[in-house]
Chain A
């Protein structure tokens, strides 16, 4: 069964600090992995998309890594800002079809002043 597990479930950090969110998956055959940011009451917004051959991808203060061998990904946020407070969702796509997206439950990040 395809699964995506995220950790931690929630996280509180001080403004300006860095943090790393984890995503482990068992989706097969793997196609790509996406990180989304979802503000409360809003739809998810894409941060990064990585395919099998990509190890690292950055988008401003967000840097995602992918280890396809261990089936792990991380999202690193540097110099956090209050506006980074949101849920971060890891989504893995199986190669068998565009509709086979497996969503993680998300990590709720709160950046405190």
Chain B
């Protein structure tokens, strides 16, 4: 089945530093990847949608200069949290849409990254 690998699974960083989170589709090509943020006991909130080779589309209220998204290949998308602050601490999850399973509504989620900014 489709597998999405997200790395790292957890990270602690100091305020003001940047953190990069990787999302890889291991056995399929993902033309579209999504980045979500999840606070405790809350549902996933879509941050941005990235299409391979083009700029990401950010949801309203999400700062594109703070959350840099790069989708340089069909199997890799990265989210960089720049100049991190404690309020950026959250659970970040990516998902990828299988290009070849579009008709079957193929979405697969990564395992998530717990970011703690101290």
Chain A interface residues (CB < 8 Å from chain B): 31-32, 34, 36, 41-46, 49, 51, 89, 93, 98-99, 101, 103-106, 108
Contact = CB atoms under 8 A, between A and B. Distances in A.
B44 interface: yes
Nearest to A50: B105
* 3 smallest beta-carbon distances between A and B, as pairs: A43-B109, A103-B43, A43-B112
Given A41-B91, A105-B42, A98 B97 contact: yes
Given A98-B97, A99-B32, A46 B107 contact: yes
A44 B97 contact: no
A86 to B, nearest CB: 13
Contact of A106 (B43, B91, B95, B110): B43
Contacts of A34: 105, 107
Contacts of B34: 99
A105 B43 contact: yes
Main secondary structure of the interface of B (DSSP, over half): strand
Contacts of A89: 43-44
A103 B97 CA distance: 17
Contacts of B104: 49
B17 to A, nearest CB: 23
A36 B111 CA distance: 13
A106 B108 CA distance: 18
A98 B51 CA distance: 12
A103 B32 contact: no
Contacts of A51: 105
Given A49-B105, A99-B49, A104-B43, A43 B110 contact: yes
